[in-house]
Amino acid sequence: MLAVLCDLGLESYIAKDAAPPGFDNPQSPMKDKEVAPKKWHEGDAKARTRIELVVGDTEMVHLSGADTAKEMWDQLCMVKEAKGRIGVLATCRTLYHMEADGNNFDLVEHISKLRRLQKELHLMDNKVNDEDFVMILLTSLPESWDVYTSTYLGSSGNKPILRSHELIAILYEEDCQRKGRTSEAAGSSFQAKSFVKGRGKSDSDKECYNCHKKGHMAKDCWSKGGGSEGKGPKGRGSGKGGHQSNQATEKTN
């Protein structure tokens, strides 16, 4: 809002000494006594209009009773400064007490939230220096990162020597490696389960696609059309006899 008023050359109407021009010298021309106040009130009206256009409908109540742009400005500053201090306190509390969710942890999203809070504080003229941000980031990580961060802190004598963007790059690399190891472990587990599932069926549950009876497979079937047709101990070449011999032998085994 102040930038808008300055751009239009209306900042003098909200200054501490803003007031209509007065003429203590009785020798001043009558024309100046009439023109100057009129010009000032016109400028003040423009400043009041700009302030009303910028202020939202919900905050118009804070302008009630103000007759000049300076009065409007003073009333807004009184309200905004009180809200501003509360906003700074709330944002600081959120930033310094930020804790990541260990179950559904997303490093990129977590760091983005911290950076947003840091930027908000900077806009409120409450800067968080880089060293403090590094410590906030390290202490906000899940417990699964404790070994990694402890190693880092131990090697640096408990005093971070990297800038925040350098630390973030290191954490991103570690996060990618962790995700890669997790994916490989999940793939190996899936393969193992698939192997066990395939091997889990007993021979008695297997069905022959040739004779459609259980207990053997088509490649071992002695019946006609089977992989071992006519190779049974009895009735070689006989589909019916071969199949019966096949069943008898398998039951014996």
How confident is the model over 95-121, as pLDDT tens digits? 998 888 777 888 889 999 999 888 888
| pLDDT given for residue 250 in this prediction | 47
Q: Which pLDDT belongs to residue 29? A: 52
SS3 of 156, please? coil
Q: pLDDT tens digits for 128-184?
A: 999 899 889 988 898 888 887 777 666 555 555 678 888 888 888 888 888 876 655
Percent over 70 (pLDDT), the chain: 70
Residue 82 has pLDDT above 70, yes or no: no
> Is the entire prediction scored with pTM above 0.75?
no
Place of tokens 């423009």: 46
249 CB burial (10 A radius; 0-12, 13-18, 19+):
middle
Widest pairwise Cα distance in the chain: 144
Taking the mean position of all CA atoms in its chain, how far away is CA 105? 9
Residue with tokens 């997790």: 182
Closest CA to 245 of 203, 202, 207, 215: 215
